Chain A
Amino acid sequence: QQPVQSPQAVILREGEDAVINCSSSKALYSVHWYRQKHGEAPVFLMILLKGGEQKGHDKISASFNEKKQQSSLYLTASQLSYSGTYFCGTEYPTDKLIFGTGTRLQVFP
């Protein structure tokens, strides 16, 4: 039931772009994206709802394909501060989040 994320890891230079994907085997109500730095709490980035509404960070965009039960997070012109592990969290009609397998992103100067 855990959503699968791809790729597992990404290495970028500052200014490069990246896409992180999240796939679920179950019908989704919404998808949440978080970034977690080592030893810190997950930080909320975005939430996307069925029907196209989304709410979140100005410099990060995402898509939600309800039919395919997939979401993608788009990181453009990456900065050093983008480094961390990215998790998608899928919300079913119950309010709890089921977190994905994680994608580790490293941005180098």
Chain B
Amino acid sequence: GAGVSQSPRYKVAKRGQDVALRCDPISGHVSLFWYQQALGQGPEFLTYFQNEAQLDKSGLPSDRFFAERPEGSVSTLKIQRTQQEDSAVYLCASGLKTGNWNEQFFGPGTRLTVL
């Protein structure tokens, strides 16, 4: 079956522009996570959904970052008034929590460059 897909794969934005990054999780996966990965670093947690409910947004760096998953499947991460420090790869992961197992499967990421 299809894995997690993300679009666009690459995005170049001018400082101050708004951007929207899309994630299509694996069908049937209840959990959806967004991570930010700077060059040479590990992924850093941004936010987490279970179905349409955003259960944890403690990792969002500022109120310019907003995520939604209105119907419990596709999710969008929106960044308003982009800044240069927002340049990173944004990874989406979906997960199927079965009992104690909570595997996460990652999409290819969107590389955002803010000029």
Contact = CB atoms under 8 A, between A and B. Distances in A.
A23 to B, nearest CB: 14
Interface of A: 2, 30, 32, 34, 40-44, 47, 49, 53, 55, 87, 89, 91, 94-102
B81 to A, nearest CB: 26
Contact of A97 (B45, B107, B109): B45
Interface SS of chain A: strand
Given A95-B95, A95-B97, A96-B48, A30 B105 contact: no
A29 to B, nearest CB: 9
Contacts of A40: 108
Contacts, number: 62
A96 B59 contact: yes
Nearest to A85: B42
B91 interface: yes
Contact of A91 (B59, B102, B109): B102
Interface of B: 4, 31, 33, 35, 41-45, 48, 50, 55-56, 59, 91, 95, 97, 100-109
Contacts of A44: 103-106
A47 B109 CA distance: 22
A7 to B, nearest CB: 15
A102 B41 contact: yes
Contacts of B33: 95-97
Contacts of A49: 100-101
**Ranked 3 nearest A-B pairs via Cβ:** A99-B42, A41-B106, A96-B45
A85 to B, nearest CB: 8
A2 to B, nearest CB: 8
Contacts of B35: 99
Among the interface residues A40, A55, A87, A99, which one has the most CB atoms of the partner chain B within 10 A?
Answer: A99
A91 B35 CA distance: 14
B42 A102 contact: yes
Contacts of A53: 100
Contacts of B97: 95
Contact of B42 (A94, A95, A100): A100
